[in-house]
Amino acid sequence: MKTILVAVDGSEHASKAVDVAGKLARLYDARLHLLHVVPFEPLPEGLVAFALAEKIPIEEEVGRWQSARLLGDALVREAAERLRGQGLEGVETHVEEGSPGPVILAVAERLEADLIVVGSRGRTGLAATLLGSVSHRVALNARCSVLIVR
Ligand SMILES: Nc1ncnc2c1ncn2[C@@H]1O[C@H](COP(=O)(O)OP(=O)(O)OP(=O)(O)O)[C@@H](O)[C@H]1O
Ligand SMILES: [Mg+2]
């Protein structure tokens, strides 16, 4: 086990996943990659120009995306610092945009991850559900092993 990918969304569940992934990385002397996916995409440039020309107010949309992006950067940075503070080396961070499930799978492929670690639930789901749609999708479609942390 050389490469572990852990996906974080700012939830308590994901934070637990980071702790478990950190312990496994230490045990296996593996590289640990932290990934947050900003779950929506910025407006395409052409559309922004069109909106400006038509005087359609999109500041709110753009602002929302910028905040989500900054939040994502802060999330992975905070988690990485926590792990490094525990003496773990070889921690890397990634922030990508798009649909979380497919992006997590694509990054895992790109990194040739041996293991993906996710929380069973995240911050957007209903309290009653046992498994979120992102962890479900990752578990079903990943080509490597997946650890779902509860
Ligand atoms: N945007 C994201 N970026 C990175 N990892 C994510 C993201 N969203 C979810 N995850 C990962 O998937 C795990 C499960 O979250 P998921 O989104 O599936 O559940 P949920 O938010 O409770 O429900 P749902 O989103 O399906 O309504 C999280 O603990 C985290 O590890
Ligand atoms: Mg979610």
| CATH number of the domain within which 13 lies | 3.40.50.620
Q: Is the pLDDT at 30 greater than 80, yes or no?
A: yes
Q: Is the pLDDT at 124 greater than 80, yes or no?
A: yes
Residue 10 belongs to domain spanning: 3-42+70-149
What is the mean predicted confidence (pLDDT) over 90-95?
Answer: 97
Give domain status of residue 58, yes or no: no
Encoded tokens for 67? 């905040």
Q: Is the pLDDT at 54 greater than 80, yes or no?
A: yes
Non-local (6+) Cβ contacts of 93 within 8 A are 33, 34, 35, 76, 77, 79, 80
Give domain status of residue 78, yes or no: yes
Contact 1, 24 (CB under 8 A): yes
Using a pLDDT cut of 70, give the percent of the chain over it: 100
Give domain status of residue 75, yes or no: yes
**How many domains is the chain built from?**
1
What is the mean predicted confidence (pLDDT) over 10-27?
Answer: 97
Residue nearest to atom 19 of ligand 1 (CA): 132
Give domain status of residue 62, yes or no: no
Q: Is the pLDDT at 41 greater than 80, yes or no?
A: no
What is the mean predicted confidence (pLDDT) over 94-120?
Answer: 97
- Determine the distance separating the centroid of ligand 2 and the alpha carbon of 57, expressed in angstroms: 28
Give domain status of residue 135, yes or no: yes
More confident residue, 42 or 35: 35
Residue nearest to atom 7 of ligand 1 (CA): 9
CB of residue 8 inside a 6 A radius of ligand 1: yes
Residue nearest to atom 1 of ligand 1 (CA): 37
What is this structure's pTM? Answer: 0.93
Contact 116, 109 (CB under 8 A): no
What is the mean predicted confidence (pLDDT) over 30-59?
Answer: 91
Residue nearest to atom 23 of ligand 1 (CA): 125
CB of residue 36 inside a 6 A radius of ligand 1: yes
CB of residue 118 inside a 6 A radius of ligand 1: yes
| Cα–Cα distance measured from residue 100 to residue 20, given in angstroms and rounded to the nearest whole number | 20
Q: Determine the atom of ligand 1 nearest the C-alpha atom of 133.
A: 26
pLDDT value for 128? 81
- The SS3 of residue 89 is coil
CA angle at 40 for the pair 36 and 44, rounded to the nearest 5°: 125
Give domain status of residue 55, yes or no: no
Which helix or strand (DSSP H or E) is residue 36 part of?
strand 31-38
Give domain status of residue 63, yes or no: no
Give domain status of residue 133, yes or no: yes
Q: Is the pLDDT at 127 greater than 80, yes or no?
A: no
Non-local (6+) Cβ contacts of 26 within 8 A are 88
Q: How many CA atoms lie within 13 A of 96 on its CB side?
A: 18
Q: Which ligand is nearest to the CA of 132?
A: 1
